[in-house]
Structure 1
């Protein structure tokens, strides 16, 4: 008789271990029906099914007889008693779908890096030597140019979670409520990446004050907005004028030689509270512009095509109000395209482990006679069935000249 193996039950494990694994693999699909396979393999007349029931009865017997080890191990896994609604005695039951997940967004504003191990990695920069050339007089020595170097450092860390279930839970799961465990763990990895990347440039008190500052010339101030639209503006709240002021400030950045830095496209990052405002700005067909032909009172303004829709990509980050509890609903950001030039930040992953990895605990038991134990039969002591997710990543803020923040309030 052909036995069910771990790859039959969870084919995702094989693909996620392969070198060609991708985030699409772990995030796609709705999971494998564990309980359905258990039920198909465990009919009442099946000897293996009767043996499993006997083992379950023995487990309960050890607990009832006062075995502290059995009771302790039994409590480590979630049992049917932990799900008082799911396994209630109701005939008409249905499982509702999970919450919809946001697509991966952090890689639109951060560079994806690869690191060899858990030691600190360095990213070096070389600046200088690109200034405007000096005139060289006849028989004069060519002037020398200085080069300066810089570095950014970070290390990756290991993150993860395990989900233990009692064998009885999967047997009783007639609704396939636990069939999406791989997908749930994959969603946890995706959420962790998004929150981590957000926490790099935002803090509980607003935009990262070390990275976004007046000294770095990348924090929008009320004076910048007033220079673009007049004294009537008293905040850095997101609107057409403040966004134009942000473009002007970002374009004014220069390198160490005093030469301009070319930024061809930017990503506008906003919280959900500003999504409507941002989309109205970017989807407008025209902009009323006083600058260049009108005045700030609304008279004689120019009507221009909305040039920003071709230069700005909108990113709505729902983690901003969660990370930034002070200005998370008002602060907004501009980031240069991380794939060109020097990025504002990098999120790195361990080489060979660049996507979330899912594992299932192998049973530490062997049947009498030497036959292997199916993973869905659980471990020797408690019949517990466990899954584990491991994810390794880290990151660091890099060049402040590639980003700009506005807290959306009156203070700069």
Structure 2
């Protein structure tokens, strides 16, 4: 069969994967709808099927693979290309949780001292000063070890002319990062929305009536959060607050915070027409938006409507702490060292694999833990309006 007028030709020495496929496949000249192309494709498919089924000897395929026309045609059948990796969102949890450090795997204590800051009482002449009471609170957690392996055969890497397996270490690192994000979301969210123990009526940190995210809902949330007081009845200074929303509420949140004006009915009347107040959007100066893509995954019910308001973890007492093992505070990536020695000496490349199986093994290890701390530093709404 004469295909020189239809396809590019390489000799056997030049028929490399880079030249044949160029990472995205080379196209056959003349297009796929020409009679010559269809006939060539049929012959190649028959040959390939014959070898696989055993009707034809394997050397027939090997011989065909060395010819330039079949190499290009086979490449066009496969039409191979590597798709780009997913684009991942930036790290979320550091905006709402304090970062801690622990020495070992034993349970660690985090203490909070309350009291002793009440407004001073008048002391009459010759009277005894009143005693103040102080109490403490204790929070406990321990870090745990997380990890996984990605073993591959030596043959897989040899055949990997598209470099599909070369980013395995990066994939393990991404896995560790996702584990952090999922862990933090699991702390403050449950299957039906905000965690029912942390966000509870007894803690006075549920946004009244669970409103949907709106200017009115945020106003109510600010009111609830600002109403929190310490054990001595003193107001708690919040500073900037962080609004945490699922991806479904990202547009709503940003529209609220980036609006130039807010129309309010606080001027009296029914809030329509001339009774409305037009005020500059003060929310954009006091609120930062964080989108947590894990919320609808963790909260299978109300995950797309729930929203949270947390105090800045760098100001005052944070709502939660995430701790990492000292000296191991970032994901650690490993590759198994070769357990073989070349006859005659010489360094063994780790990519040569294990002595017994030629396996090439990567591993990631990450050690972390965390705990919810002060419920006075956050409020939440499941967004259902009930």
Q: The TM-score by the shorter chain falls in which range?
A: 0.7 to 0.9
**Is the CA contact (8 Å cut-off) linking 1:294 and 1:302 kept in structure 2?**
no
- Counterpart for residue 239 of structure 2: 264
Work out the CA distance in 2 between the residues paired with 1:170 and 1:364. 18
Work out the CA distance in 2 between the residues paired with 1:334 and 1:195. 18
Could you tell me how far 1:206 is from its partner in structure 2?
1.5
Gaps of 5+ in 2: 1-16, 19-72
TM-score, scaled relative to structure 1: 0.74
- Counterpart for residue 158 of structure 1: 145
1:201 pairs with 2:188:
yes
Could you tell me how far 1:93 is from its partner in structure 2?
2.3
- Alpha-carbon distance change, 197 to 89 in structure 1, aligned in 2, over 3 angstroms: farther
Aligned pair count reads 313
Residues 331-369 of structure 1: CA distance to partner in whole angstroms, max 9, x if unpaired? 000000001100000011000000000000011111223
**Is the CA contact (8 Å cut-off) linking 1:206 and 1:331 kept in structure 2?**
yes
Question: How is 1:121-160 mapped onto 2 (pairs within 5 angstroms)?
Answer: 121-160=108-147
Query: Which one has a bigger Cα radius of gyration?
Result: 2
Work out the CA distance in 1 between the residues paired with 2:375 and 2:106. 25
- Counterpart for residue 367 of structure 2: 392
TM-score, scaled relative to structure 2: 0.79
- Counterpart for residue 294 of structure 1: 268
Could you tell me how far 1:296 is from its partner in structure 2?
4.0
Q: Secondary structure of the residue that 2:310 maps to in structure 1?
A: strand
Could you tell me how far 1:295 is from its partner in structure 2?
3.4
Question: How is 1:258-407 mapped onto 2 (pairs within 5 angstroms)?
Answer: 258-291=233-266, 293-299=267-273, 300-407=275-382
Match of 1:219 among 203, 206, 216: 206
Could you tell me how far 1:169 is from its partner in structure 2?
1.0
Work out the CA distance in 1 between the residues paired with 2:245 and 2:309. 9
**Is the CA contact (8 Å cut-off) linking 2:208 and 2:220 kept in structure 1?**
no
Could you tell me how far 1:260 is from its partner in structure 2?
0.2
**Is the CA contact (8 Å cut-off) linking 2:185 and 2:294 kept in structure 1?**
yes
- Counterpart for residue 383 of structure 2: 408
- Counterpart for residue 51 of structure 1: none
1:179 pairs with 2:137:
no
- Counterpart for residue 90 of structure 1: 75
**Is the CA contact (8 Å cut-off) linking 1:218 and 1:250 kept in structure 2?**
yes
Question: How is 1:39-54 mapped onto 2 (pairs within 5 angstroms)?
Answer: none
- Counterpart for residue 32 of structure 2: none
Could you tell me how far 1:297 is from its partner in structure 2?
4.2
- Counterpart for residue 66 of structure 2: none
**Is the CA contact (8 Å cut-off) linking 1:335 and 1:403 kept in structure 2?**
yes
Residues 90-149 of structure 1: CA distance to partner in whole angstroms, max 9, x if unpaired? 354221110001111100000000000000000001111101000010111111101101
Work out the CA distance in 1 between the residues paired with 2:252 and 2:385. 18
Could you tell me how far 1:191 is from its partner in structure 2?
0.7
- Counterpart for residue 210 of structure 1: 197
Could you tell me how far 1:89 is from its partner in structure 2?
5.3
Gaps of 5+ in 1: 1-34, 37-87, 223-234
